[in-house]
Amino acid sequence: MKSHEIKAIIEGLLFVSGEEGIDENQMMDVLEIDRKTLKFYLAELKEMYHSNNRGIQLVELAGGYQLTTKKEHAIYFKRLIQSPTSATLSQAALESLAIIAYKQPVSRVEVEDIRGVKSERPIRTLNGKGFIKEVGRADRTGRAILYGTTKFFLEQFGLQSVEELPPLPDPVAEEEVEEEVDLFFEKFQEQFSDNNTINKKSV
């Protein structure tokens, strides 16, 4: 592979790895290159983000690498979170939020196992808007990030604690599961919309 292609693949790996990051061994296995070569390309990427005044940066944390935003831009991200439209959540985000609320602490992989689809983007959205936060690391290989809900989540849903969440549907026959899940998420979304309207009016 050519140099630019390897760097593009590394960038893609960093992007799909999200906030959990990716370590050198994983990248070496995927790219089939040695550590010295990998570090060379990582250094080039880091310099590229720095010298071109990009909005993201490459950082090394706990033996892994992540693409992150820059501290000096934090004020703009805060404005986005606090904007009037920031409370609107997609169906994917609401589903992910419901799973985290009931299963917390829970990892992204566990959320994806329940939803059956990738959930990196909705989890990133929920984290950025303050509905969820990192509450620890899984005590197993990979040390995956564990997520839980926040005080902001409780305020938006008009709850004193997660114990006040509506009960989950009773066990149902396999052929009825999809219908029950759809109904549950619909109720969850209605509760979010109702409480969010109240909170907006009170601001």
**Model confidence pLDDT, tens digit, residues 29-47:** 999 999 999 999 999 999 9
b or e along 4-39 (b: 16 or more beta carbons within 10 Å of the residue's beta carbon)?
A: eebbeebbebbeebbebbbeeeebeeebebeeeebe
Omega within 30 of 0 (cis) for the link into 84 = no
Domain boundaries, the chain: 3-69, 74-202
C-alpha dihedral sign at 58, 60, 66, 71: negative
Task: CATH number for 74-202: choose from 2.60.40.420, 1.10.10.10, 1.25.40.10, 3.40.920.10.
Answer: 1.10.10.10
| Entry pTM | 0.51
Query: Any idea which architecture 3-69 has in CATH?
Result: Orthogonal Bundle (1.10)
Two tokens, residue 63? 């033996």
Alpha-carbon gap, residue 123 to 103, rounded angstroms: 14
Alpha-carbon gap, residue 84 to 32, rounded angstroms: 47
Q: Do domains 3-69 and 74-202 have the same CATH topology?
A: yes
**Under 8 Å between Cβ of 114 and 99:** yes
Alpha-carbon gap, residue 105 to 36, rounded angstroms: 37
pLDDT value at position 7?
93
Structure confidence by residue, pLDDT tens digits, 151-161:
988 887 778 88
